């Protein structure tokens, strides 16, 4: 489980280095405006407020900064990624 967490956090650190942040962790606009055409959730659209709340909870569970959606230095060090933690500070 910890290895998987480490890999997933590394992937997130990589995307941060590529310039992606919390604002990029969203669905396309049509998911918030176009109702689903079929299936059990037919007619439903996503709520931006609910997605923001879910992101807060997700980042908290991951040990990532909720405001920016990026791994914290503490989490990276906990996972044995001190070198990534040090280099990621440059990209924040």
pTM, 2 dp: 0.82
Distance from C-alpha of 55 to C-alpha of 58, rounded to nearest angstrom = 5
Q: Does domain 2-91 have CATH number 3.40.50.720?
A: no
DSSP-derived secondary structure letter, 35: P
Confidence of residue 87 (pLDDT cuts 50, 70, 90): confident
Q: Which residues contact 78 (CB under 8 A, 6 or more apart)?
A: 63
pLDDT digits (tens, 9 = 90+) for 24-41: 999 999 999 999 999 999
Confidence of residue 52 (pLDDT cuts 50, 70, 90): very high
Domain boundaries, the chain: 2-91
């Amino acid at each position: 489980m910890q290895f998987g967490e480490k890999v997933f956090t590394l992937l997130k650190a990589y995307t941060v280095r590529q310039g992606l942040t919390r604002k990029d962790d969203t669905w396309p606009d049509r998911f918030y405006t176009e109702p689903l055409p079929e299936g059990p959730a037919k007619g439903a659209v996503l709520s931006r407020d609910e997605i923001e709340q879910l992101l807060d909870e997700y980042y908290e569970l991951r040990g990532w900064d909720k405001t920016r959606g990026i791994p914290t230095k503490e989490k990276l060090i906990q996972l044995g990624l001190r070198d990534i933690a040090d280099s990621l500070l440059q990209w924040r």
